[in-house]
Amino acid sequence: MGVRTVLSATEFGDDDGAPDPRLVEALTVYREDPQGGYLPALAALSASRVVVPVVAQGEESTGVDMATVMMRRADGATALLSFSCLDHLTDWDAQARPLPTPVARAALAAMQEGCAALLVDHAGPVQLAVAGEDLEHLARGHRLVALDGGGWGWLQGS
């Protein structure tokens, strides 16, 4: 068994669960124009925290473990579930415990669990799936930025 990323909320002790306004705006654009809005949404996400749901798993009589949630597509590919804010998480499952975490840590956890994607806001209003090289960049802590001359580039480090 390999090293696993531990998701912890220590960095966000005072987080009220509100969405990042830049991410909300970018996801709204993405909803209207998925092709043209994907990179701006990914850029906003790369600078955000997400809320990962943690749910009880098992029987009370034999012991309950807490686990993150993965969604499985019909083709078997999985995605780690995350949300842009507490309200979207509770709309999906009011019983899930919110775990605010940097998107880089959530992306790394997704990759370490063998997931093909990080799925943001499964319950809406706008669903964003990050996979492939974009997921790898997020997991490395890279931020997507708009370049002065046009286009986009991944910024390494903080």
Q: How confident is the model at residue 1 (pLDDT cuts 50, 70, 90)?
A: very low
* Whether residue 2 has pLDDT greater than 50: no
Residue 12, domain member (yes or no): no
- What mean pLDDT do residues 28-43 have? 96
Q: What is the pLDDT of residues 64-117, one digit of tens each?
A: 577 888 999 889 999 999 999 999 999 999 999 999 999 999 999 999 999 999
pLDDT score, position 81 = 96
Q: What is the pLDDT of residues 12-30, one digit of tens each?
A: 667 788 899 999 999 999 9
- What mean pLDDT do residues 138-147 have? 96
Residue 114, domain member (yes or no): yes
Q: Count other C-beta atoms under 10 Å from residue 40's C-beta.
A: 19
Residue 38, domain member (yes or no): yes
Location of structure tokens 């790394």: 108
Q: How confident is the model at residue 3 (pLDDT cuts 50, 70, 90)?
A: very low
Question: Which of 22-26, 30-34, 54-58 is predicted with the least confidence, judged by mean pLDDT?
Answer: 54-58
- In SS3 terms, 10-35 reads as HHHCCCCCCCCHHHHHHHHHHHHCHH
pLDDT score, position 66 = 77
The whole domain housing 97 covers 18-57+66-155
pLDDT score, position 158 = 56
Residue 1, domain member (yes or no): no
How many structural domains compose the chain? 1
Residue 137, domain member (yes or no): yes
Residue 39, domain member (yes or no): yes
Residue 6, domain member (yes or no): no
Residue 148, domain member (yes or no): yes
- In SS3 terms, the chain reads as CCCCCCCCCHHHCCCCCCCCHHHHHHHHHHHHCHHHHHHHHHHHHHCCEEEEEEEEECCCCCCCEEEECEEECCCCCEEEEEECCHHHHHHHCCCCEEEEEEHHHHHHHHHHCCCCEEEECCCCCCCEEEEHHHHHHHHCCCEEEECCCCCEEEECCC
Q: What is the pLDDT of residues 101-110, one digit of tens each?
A: 999 999 999 9
